[in-house]
């Protein structure tokens, strides 16, 4: 897990440096899967929201994939828990993901 987090952190740095928004979105989707296994729903949702926004900006069909994963999380934890989670994650998505990756490397 630590090794994966380190590689994802490095990948994000490189992808951002070269402005590969699609690749960054794909990496964020992968990060959401990694943290889903750890039941870190805050990082999962933050990653998915960031990925969805990137995919929307580059007009990728993967926007729908990210949205489906967000909806799946909503179904898994329930509407009330999801609403609370969304409130806690909104406007700090990037910080949550970066902090989680740093802590787990």
Is the CB of residue 29 less than 8 Å from the CB of residue 66?
yes
Angle, vertex CA 95, rays to CA 54 and CA 87, nearest 5 = 80
Mean pLDDT, rounded, for 46-69: 98
- Residue 2 has a pLDDT of 84
What is residue 40's DSSP assignment? -
Q: What's the pTM value of the predicted model, to 2 decimals?
A: 0.95
What φ, ψ does residue 6 adopt, rounded to 5°? Answer: -65, -45
What tens digit of pLDDT does each residue of 66-91 get? 999 999 999 999 999 999 999 999 99
Residue 105: pLDDT above 80? no
């Amino acid at each position: 897990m630590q090794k994966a987090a380190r590689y994802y952190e490095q990948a994000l740095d490189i992808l951002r440096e070269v402005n590969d928004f699609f690749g960054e979105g794909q990496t964020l989707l992968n990060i959401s899967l990694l943290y889903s296994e750890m039941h870190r729903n805050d990082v999962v949702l933050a990653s998915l929201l960031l990925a969805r926004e990137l995919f929307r900006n580059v007009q990728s069909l993967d926007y729908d994939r990210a949205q489906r994963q967000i909806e799946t999380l909503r179904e898994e934890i329930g509407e009330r828990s999801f609403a609370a989670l969304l409130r806690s994650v909104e406007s700090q998505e990037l910080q949550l993901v970066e902090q989680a990756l740093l802590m787990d490397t």
